[in-house]
Amino acid sequence: MIETTSVSNNNVRDWLTLERIPLVGPLTIAKLIEAFGCPEKILKANARSIRERSGISERLSNSISCFNPVASEIEKDLTTLERLKVRIVTRWDEGYPENLKDIYDPPALLFVRGSLLPKDSRAVAMVGTRNPTGYGVEFAKSITSDLVRSDFTIISGLARGIDTTCHQSALKAGGRTIAVLGCGLDISYPKENDSLVQRIVESGAVISEFRPGIAPLKTNFFRRNRIVSGLSRAVVVVQASKKSGSLITASHALDQNRDVFAVPGNITNERSRGPHYLIKQGAGLVESADDILASLITSEVGNVSGCCSSFQDARRDEEVSETAQLILDFLDLDPTPIDLMCESIKIEPGRLLGSLLELELLGLVKQSPGKMFSRVRV
């Protein structure tokens, strides 16, 4: 049986020890926990037992069995965790984010300041350049505010620029936001966001897979980015160069089967090249939050019962054109071909396609392969 943990449990020292062993990452820890059930038993096992029960290499088994942590470093970490009111949430705890469990290499443990809630599974990641234009900042604010009003949690990386803007906008709109760091939670990076961190902790969470004291090294941000996308149902890129870390996050999102959206911009601006590249590769083009919401809420329809987002509620009473209403009255949840719609509703194809586009943008109908259309709800 796999044991769970929190900062107050005696086995926190064992988790901190296991996490310190060189070359022991999330996938190796998962194999070890599956074989032994808890860190204490792993650390007490000999190399042969570790190798035979977990299937890991002889070299790594020897490294684990011989590892002897510096006690003072463990105690220092415990003091820091207590001072900052940090919880350790392991992959096997009930409070571990559901979305993260789906990715290939979910962190074995997360250091958490603030609260992680079940509702955070309805999350969208907003990422972008550290040096946005006024256009990028205003667009990020607008999208973030609309997503929050539709009860989505905003995920980002607390970096300067777009990340910071989105965290701030989510808080200003009264919503939840989660910041994922590429360093220990005791490290102020960037320093100017110290006060923002405190505000996020009060109504969301600041998290990291890195223990206290780990510096914001470049390689850590690649690992951080997979968590940003993994926590989310979709990733939105707002202004980024083609070599930006935001595109790495988008790449992780694709690997994790998440939706990717991009905000177009001025074709002469280097910060538009990243989003434009993504759009060419098939990312959803974003002109407003409605483009994101329509896609996400459509995917929720089959799983949501008795709990609709504020976006759905708002659209339910949305006024549509007379032609669009005729189409809505005709369609049901089964996809219907355009020619049958034309024949049944007695409407020419041009007007029909225009009204269908209107309804798609409102999230009231969805298109299936072969130009088939169906209602999102009846």
For residue range 61-115, what is the model confidence (pLDDT) as tens digits? 999 999 999 999 999 999 999 999 999 999 999 999 999 999 999 999 999 999 9
| 60-91 burial code (b ≥16 CB/10 A, e <16) | bbebbbeeebeeeebeebeebbeeeebbbbbb
Q: What is the DSSP letter of 211?
A: P
> In the structure, what pLDDT confidence band is assigned to residue 10 with cuts at 50, 70 and 90?
low
> In the structure, what pLDDT confidence band is assigned to residue 377 with cuts at 50, 70 and 90?
low
Q: What is the pLDDT of residue 310?
A: 38
Say whether pLDDT at 25 is over 50. Answer: yes
pLDDT tens-digit map of 160-199 = 999 999 999 999 999 999 999 999 999 999 999 999 999 9
Segment 361-375 mean pLDDT: 80
Q: What is the pLDDT of residue 362?
A: 77
Segment 130-134 mean pLDDT: 95
Segment 345-367 mean pLDDT: 80
Cα separation, 204 vs 200, whole angstroms: 5
Q: What is the pLDDT of residue 28?
A: 95
One DSSP character per residue, 228-264 reads HHHT-SEEEEES--TTSHHHHHHHHHHHTT-EEEEE-
> In the structure, what pLDDT confidence band is assigned to residue 3 with cuts at 50, 70 and 90?
low
3-state helix, strand, coil in the chain (%, to 5): 50, 15, 35
Q: What is the pLDDT of residue 66?
A: 95
Q: What is the DSSP letter of 92?
A: T
> In the structure, what pLDDT confidence band is assigned to residue 344 with cuts at 50, 70 and 90?
confident
Cα separation, 350 vs 104, whole angstroms: 45
pLDDT tens-digit map of 276-325 = 999 999 999 999 999 999 888 777 654 433 333 333 333 443 567 788 88
Cα separation, 299 vs 287, whole angstroms: 20
Q: What is the DSSP letter of 1?
A: -
Mean pLDDT, the chain, whole residue set: 89
243 conformational bin, left if phi > 0, alpha if psi -120 to 50, beta if neither: alpha
For the chain, list the domains and their CATH numbers: 1-80 (1.10.150), 113-296 (3.40.50.450), 318-375 (1.10.10.10)
Q: What is the pLDDT of residue 49?
A: 97
